[in-house]
């Protein structure tokens, strides 16, 4: 029931680093990252959010380390976390050193905010001695003022130069366990900056559209940027930077990688038709009910909800399991084959039951257990709906004929 799809472009080869137990770059699976929104000093609250993020698909979680209390919190959080923890450090190198003392598996430094070369070298040397990787987190909104002046603003070249300058300081102390991000809130700028970074460095890249905003616009922007690059083979870790519950970030990240065939499916993929003149049910309502009923069960399958039985099972024949509505009934199908017909009010419950049994027993077993006569009953319903609504339920043929008459087409009936 899992699916693998090959993207057009091969993955960009990079060095490999390890953030705790998670390999990044060098052919490792693209990983999902998110960030807690709690105060890191709140150990139990932060751990609760980390567990929720891990459950939603996060492989790595970042926590802010902006004060001594946060570093102390990390000392309690790291050994209890289900995933590696990266400390987010902006202005104070002391907080980076404290986070290393707390046992974090990675650091994120913003070179536009932590600027003193001696402090950067000090942190890099300490990370080197502890074998802890650092992400050079360049952000278009917080570049060094000198770079804005030199490049006339936050250009792709300015972002990449910021990362290059940081790497040069790391090289002075022999530190190379690095991944790089060159984020921007502008999708075109972000895409061009990462393309240039990919051509410039052989380090793994962490993708993101910074400050993408709330869903749905934030999801669209972040997906537009990251999916474009991932399809080009660029990117080794990703983060959706949403103004929302971070669990939404982790879930979206996982879903994006699964949709692109970059990670094996672990959760639900629900597809549904957009509805039409033949629809026998409220497709949106049924799809939403099915999504809510199935999502928390974490079934690694594709489920289809189709509005009618005329084309539904055929159009969704690649789905593992699905249901199509017809004449106040639900036609349950597996891989396009009708296995059961149930009353309309039982559609969602029957779909959930069949999905769980499919995962537990397998496709062949469930096809073998199909109800006798289900296909014949479904075909009778399909024929009745065709007789009632016709082949052209949306009256497209009438519209085409009208268009051709207006255009003076000699054969408007064709």
Three-state DSSP class for residue 253: helix
133/124 Cα distance (integer angstroms): 9
Residue linked to tokens 């017809």: 326
With cut-offs at 50, 70 and 90, classify the pLDDT of residue 265.
Answer: confident
Residue linked to tokens 């061009």: 192
307, pLDDT greater than 80: no
Residues 6+ positions from 129 with CB-CB distance below 8 Å: none
Instruction: Kindly report the average pLDDT of the chain as a whole number.
Output: 87
Three-state DSSP class for residue 338: strand
Question: Domains of the chain by range and CATH?
Answer: 16-259 (3.20.20.20), 269-389 (3.30.413.10)
**CB–CB of 44/17 below 8 Å?**
no
User: Out of 197-211, 249-263, 292-306, 347-361, which region has the weakest mean confidence (pLDDT)?
Assistant: 292-306
**CB–CB of 7/326 below 8 Å?**
no
What are the structure tokens assigned to 341, written together? 């017909």
224/140 Cα distance (integer angstroms): 18
284/282 Cα distance (integer angstroms): 6
In this prediction, residues 286-292 reach a mean pLDDT of: 85
**CB–CB of 221/211 below 8 Å?**
no
Q: In 65-149, which ranges are E strands? A: 85-89, 106-109, 134-139
Task: Say which DSSP state 141 is in.
Answer: G
User: Out of 5-14, 197-206, 260-269, which region has the weakest mean confidence (pLDDT)?
Assistant: 5-14
pLDDT digits (tens, 9 = 90+) for 219-251: 999 999 999 999 999 999 999 999 999 999 999
* pTM of the shown model: 0.79
376 vs 23, residue with greater confidence: 23
233/393 Cα distance (integer angstroms): 43
182/310 Cα distance (integer angstroms): 49
Strands 31-35 and 237-238: parallel
Q: 329: exposed, middle or buried (C-beta count within 10 Å: 0-12, 13-18, 19+)? A: buried
In this prediction, residues 326-337 reach a mean pLDDT of: 82
């Amino acid at each position: 029931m899992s699916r693998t799809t090959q993207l057009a472009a091969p993955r960009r080869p990079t060095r490999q680093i390890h953030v705790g137990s998670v390999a990044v770059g060098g052919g490792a699976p693209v990983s999902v990252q998110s960030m807690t929104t709690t105060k890191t000093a709140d150990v139990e609250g932060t751990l609760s959010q980390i567990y929720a993020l891990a459950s939603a698909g996060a492989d790595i979680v970042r926590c802010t380390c902006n004060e001594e209390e946060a570093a102390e919190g990390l000392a309690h959080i790291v050994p209890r976390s289900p995933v590696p923890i990266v400390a987010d450090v902006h202005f104070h190198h002391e907080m980076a050193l404290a986070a290393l003392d707390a046992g974090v598996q990675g650091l994120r430094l913003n070179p536009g905010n932590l600027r003193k070369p001696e402090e950067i070298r000090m942190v890099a040397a300490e990370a080197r001695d502890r074998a802890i990787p650092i992400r050079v987190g360049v952000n278009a909104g917080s570049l060094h003022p000198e770079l804005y002046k030199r490049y006339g603003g936050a250009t792709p070249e300015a972002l990449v130069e910021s990362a290059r300058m940081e790497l040069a300081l790391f090289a002075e102390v022999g530190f190379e366990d690095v991944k790089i991000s060159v984020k921007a809130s502008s999708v075109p700028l972000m895409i061009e900056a990462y393309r240039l970074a990919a051509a410039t460095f052989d380090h793994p890249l962490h993708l993101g559209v910074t400050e993408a905003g709330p869903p749905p616009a934030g999801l669209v922007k972040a997906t537009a940027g990251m999916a474009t690059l991932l399809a080009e083979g660029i990117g080794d870790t990703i983060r959706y930077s949403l103004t929302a519950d971070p669990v939404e970030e982790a879930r979206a990240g996982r879903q994006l990688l699964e949709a692109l065939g970059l990670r094996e499916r672990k959760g639900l993929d629900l597809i549904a038709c957009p509805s039409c003149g033949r629809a026998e049910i409220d497709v949106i309502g049924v799809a939403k009910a099915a999504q809510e009923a199935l999502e928390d069960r974490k079934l690694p399958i594709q489920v289809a909800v189709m509005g009618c039985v005329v084309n539904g099972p055929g159009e969704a024949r690649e789905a593992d399991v699905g249901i199509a509505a017809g004449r106040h009934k639900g036609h349950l199908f597996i891989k396009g084959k009708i296995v059961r017909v149930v009353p309309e009010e039982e559609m969602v419950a029957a779909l959930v039951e069949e999905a769980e049994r499919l995962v537990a027993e397998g496709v062949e077993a469930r096809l073998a257990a199909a109800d006798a006569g289900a296909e014949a009953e479904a075909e009778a319903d399909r024929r009745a709906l065709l007789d009632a609504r016709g082949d052209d339920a949306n009256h497209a043929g009438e519209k085409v004929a009208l268009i051709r008459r207006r255009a003076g087409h000699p054969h408007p009936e064709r």
